[in-house]
Structure 1
Amino acid sequence: MIVIDGQHSDMQVASFANLEEILVKVMENGTMENRIVTDVLVNNEPFSEIYPHQAEDIEASEISSLEIISVPVGEMAMSITRELYKVVQIMGDGARHVADLFRQADDTEALEMYQDLLQVVRDFLGMIGVLRSEFTLKDHAAFNSGVEEISDLFGEMTEVMENEDWILLADLLEYEFVPATDRWKNVIHLLREDIRKVNKG
């Protein structure tokens, strides 16, 4: 039995050799156009690949039921923007915490957390970039100035790090980086509006 988004499929598990063949067929037959698979349940147990092509190792004879759950791309994009608001909050809180550690002369822990913060910011900008290229139809000045501001700030912070001026780095994080992250809330709001319009259209 194969169920896709609550609907029983005409496809039969026995017609396939393994789970991967079934999933590939489902993706090819057009039912998943403009949709993103969020859950795959094999025999009522959640399945997600731990290594590439793990689905090939699950033979059709082992599958008594398969359920595939998906959401429209636009709906997924809206939920990602909700998460991005939280990420902005995490970046601001993280920057304040790193600044406090530098001021307490706890340089080792501060530098470790600073590296984590950089990674979060890179991932955040990457996700914003993907959403913008996929959905937004406008070239928002707020987006461009936000990216420029963060890039300039990281350039400045890198120089300060090379000079090991931890107090200045703490000041840059607290008084420039935190307000810069707050301004991203407006960019996310603009992205949400664009995605909403695309979803309606």
Structure 2
Amino acid sequence: MKDLVREDVQNLATSLGKVVPDLLKVSRDYRQGRDQAANSGFGQCLEALRSVIERVARFREVSASGAFRDFPASLTFSGHDKRLLDLLGEMSSAQQGQDWIFLADLIEYELVPILKEMAAGLPEALHALA
């Protein structure tokens, strides 16, 4: 079980490492009026974020199951998933309203910092799982 969680943490780190620069590019594209490129990139980023949220849900399930005692509490990302879901709703509204600058702001100044916070805790969790 521990090996599976460790592998999932490594996959999460890889996913976050890829999606953050992609989101920053999407934000730049929106600001520069390249709406089609931004919308396409944003769709791809949303798929990656769905995977991140699913992984976090699995970590919570493992933690709640008590499958092993030394499960790193940082992997439950307490509060992050709610912030992410709330933010995704706000971003969807901005996209539907075609408010590209607001969407770019939400991506760059709200979403990316949350994802960076999540990524920052992963090395400690990996160490605890070693």
Normalising by structure 2, we get a TM-score of 0.80
Q: How does 1:1-201 map to 2 (within 5 A)?
A: 73-135=1-63, 137=66, 143-189=77-123, 191-192=125-126, 196=129
Structure 1 letter corresponding to 2:60 = R
**Structure 1, unpaired ranges of 5+:** 1-72
**Structure 2, unpaired ranges of 5+:** none
Query: Aligned with 2:12: secondary structure?
Result: helix
Answer whether contact 2:19 2:48 (CA < 8 A) is retained. yes
Percent identity between matched residues is 22
- Which structure carries more strand by proportion? 1
Query: Aligned with 1:144: secondary structure?
Result: coil
Normalising by structure 1, we get a TM-score of 0.54
Post-superposition CA distance 1:115-166 (Å, at most 9, x none): 1111100111102211331256576697231011111111111111121010
Q: 1:155 to 1:190 in 2, by over 3 A?
A: farther
CA distance in 2, matches of 1:193, 1:128: 18
Once superposed, what is the RMSD of the aligned Cα atoms? 2.5
The structure whose Rg is larger is 1
Corresponding pairs, count: 124
CA distance in 1, matches of 2:111, 2:127: 25
Post-superposition CA distance 1:36-69 (Å, at most 9, x none): xxxxxxxxxxxxxxxxxxxxxxxxxxxxxxxxxx
Structure 1 letter corresponding to 2:88 = F
CA distance in 2, matches of 1:192, 1:91: 20
